[in-house]
Amino acid sequence: MFDPYYLQQLAIGLSQGVIYALMAIGFTLIFGVLNVVNFAHGEIYTLGAFVGLLVITALAPPLLVVVLVVAAVGAAFGVGLERIAFKPFRRFSDEASLKSRAMRESTLMSSLAVSIVAREGLELAFGSQMQTLPFDQLINKPIALGPITIVTGDVIIFAVAAVMLIGLQWLLTRTRVGLAIRAVSANPLGAKYVGIDTDRTIILTFAIGSMMGAAAGVLVGLYYGAIFPAMGFVPGIKAFVAMVMGGLSSIPGAVICALLLGLSEGLATTFISSNWADMVAYGFLIVTLIFFPQGLFGAGRERV
Amino acid sequence: MNLLEVRGVTVTMGVQEILHGVDLDVPANGIVAVLGSNGVGKTTLMRTISGVYRAKSGTIRLAGEDITGLKSHAIVARGLSQAPEGRQIFAPMSVRENLVIGGGRHGLAELDRVLALFPKLGERMGQIAGSLSGGEQQMLCIARALMAKPKILLLDEPSLGLAPKLVKTIFDLVAAIRAEGISILIVEQNARAALRIADRAAVMEGGRIGLEGPAATIAEDPRVVEAYLGGHGTAA
């Protein structure tokens, strides 16, 4: 009565959703602290994939090493991004200007500018066509699971996402650094009065968020076997939609919505052409904005 | 010796000068009250001492060390904490988390001492700070500042918006905090209550200190009585 085909589609959708979730975590973390949308997050993901390509072609280390190196480089990119696109606009330190509209709009533009420069730079260096990753390094060995088939990458990506999410929750609730991040997010001026180095905390937030974005990029590259300079755009949009649906600053909310988004897209391709599957995300975004202006998990927060 | 010395501090915001050379001393283990109406620069002075604003000129010394221009976290680390105007607590976080953050590198080392002053907070450790009443939030704000083990505590309008009974509680607490050996610089609209607990007082007018002296003398100054204590009658 239940066609295994649907289960297969659900499995594909779930792994897609996990990828969106990996992106959405970093996005939401940065938004939560600075109240700004980091448009360059998609390019961090792309850069992560390309750094992975370079590392693999040069040294062909084990997967764990690749992911760790990419995460470290991603953190460095995050720090650089913060210095170039965000710090110069943070001239005043009271909360009114830290979370002001002017701050939000100027960093929206500056992060968009950095993302364009990064993408074009990659195109100049590597060309805009697909780059293939060495076949033996890919994470797409099939695993039969009853009537459906998944690949090793599904398991690996799911595991990495779970570790990151749990690790992040631990960091944010149990460590001094994590409490500082939440304190700056809740009240940047109050954070100064209790002796938190707000600048350092913001840099750290970018490093953590970008680390996750870059790791997601290399995993997805190894999952599909091909990477290209514009690859970060669509997942970036999906992560943004997940963040908005989740209520903007709720990390668990964003993760749940990212999974929902992936699953819905997976199911939708059963009924409509896969070219139209992106419509699902945009449809969700519009429905959220109209009917749940505070997001699905964003109780008590300002309107999206 | 003075624990805190402010000398000739000027602060500008854009093209406007807000403080025009403020001098102020807080002796070790003393309470100094700064009075003045809205907009004379009291909060600007407090923010500048804590390193949230930059002084354009002048010096601020803490226990003899020049702290002018240091960042706020470096100033807290040297033993100057502030319970700022508007409380600025971390509303979405629990009372315990607010106190842990306040403790900084000391963590919860001061918890017992602080909870002895604020027993009510001890009953609400797991509660979200934003759900506390106004008075409890003010207590949390002061308790959070004390967690950092300060030598001097700055209080900016601690009684603002509180019921009269709570105002008395807060001022009794301020006296109790001083009894623990912590110096206090307090900015207050409620001049009568502030002068009652203070050793010295300064009156700010238009970005400078107009009058300064022992609290009892200031409380009897006819200008202060007229402007801040509601005309005739005794101050204390």
CA–CA distances in Å: residue B90 to residues A168, B100, B139, B207 = 20, 11, 13, 31
> For the whole model, what pTM was predicted?
0.89
B88, B98, B100, B156, best to mutate vs chain A, most A CBs in 10 Å: B88
What mean pLDDT value characterizes chain A? Answer: 86
> Region A53-81: what's the mean pLDDT?
92
Shortest CA distance from B104: residue in chain A = A195
Averaged pLDDT in 10-residue chunks for chain B of 236 residues: 93 90 95 92 95 94 95 96 95 95 92 94 95 94 97 95 90 94 94 93 93 93 85 48
> Region A181-195: what's the mean pLDDT?
92
Indicate yes or no: CB of A179 within 8 angstroms of CB of B50: no
Query: Who among B83, B87, B148 is closest to A195 (CB)?
Result: B148
Domain B1-77+152-160+188-235 fold: Rossmann fold (3.40.50)
Indicate yes or no: CB of A195 within 8 angstroms of CB of B81: yes
- Give the residues across from B154 on adjacent strands: B82, B185
Residue ranges per structural domain of chain B: 1-77+152-160+188-235
Residues of B in contact with A180 (CB under 8 A): 101
State CA B9 to chain mean position distance.
18
Task: Report residue A94 as tokens.
Answer: 């009271």
Cα angle value A159/A163/A169 (rounded, 5°): 145
Read off the pLDDT band of A93 (50, 70, 90). Answer: low
Q: What are phi and psi of B141, to 5 degrees?
A: -60, -45
> How far apart are the C-alpha atoms of A42 and A112, rounded to whole Å?
10
Chain A residues at the B interface, defined by Cβ less than 8 Å, are: 93-94, 176, 179-180, 182-183, 186-187, 189-198
Model confidence over A113-170: pLDDT tens digits? 999 999 999 999 988 888 888 887 888 888 887 778 888 888 888 888 889 889 999 9
Kindly tell me if the per-residue pLDDT of A300 is higher than 50. no
The CA distance from B100 to the nearest CA of chain A, in Å, is 8
Q: What's the ipTM?
A: 0.92
Burial of A286 (0-12, 13-18, 19+ CB in 10 A): exposed
Is residue B50 within 8 Å of residue A193, measured between CB atoms?
A: yes
Model confidence over A270-284: pLDDT tens digits? 777 777 777 888 888
Q: pLDDT value at position A304? A: 38
Amino acid identity, residue A155? V
The CA distance from B47 to the nearest CA of chain A, in Å, is 9
Is residue B28 within 8 Å of residue B3, measured between CB atoms?
A: yes
Task: Report residue A191 as tokens.
Answer: 């954070």
Kindly tell me if the per-residue pLDDT of A13 is higher than 90. no
Q: pLDDT value at position A144? A: 83
B44 lies within 8 A of chain A by CB: no
Which residue, among A84, A98, A215, has the nearest Cα to A157 in the 3D structure? A215
Q: pLDDT value at position A96? A: 55
Indicate yes or no: CB of A186 within 8 angstroms of CB of B90: yes
Q: pLDDT value at position B198? A: 96
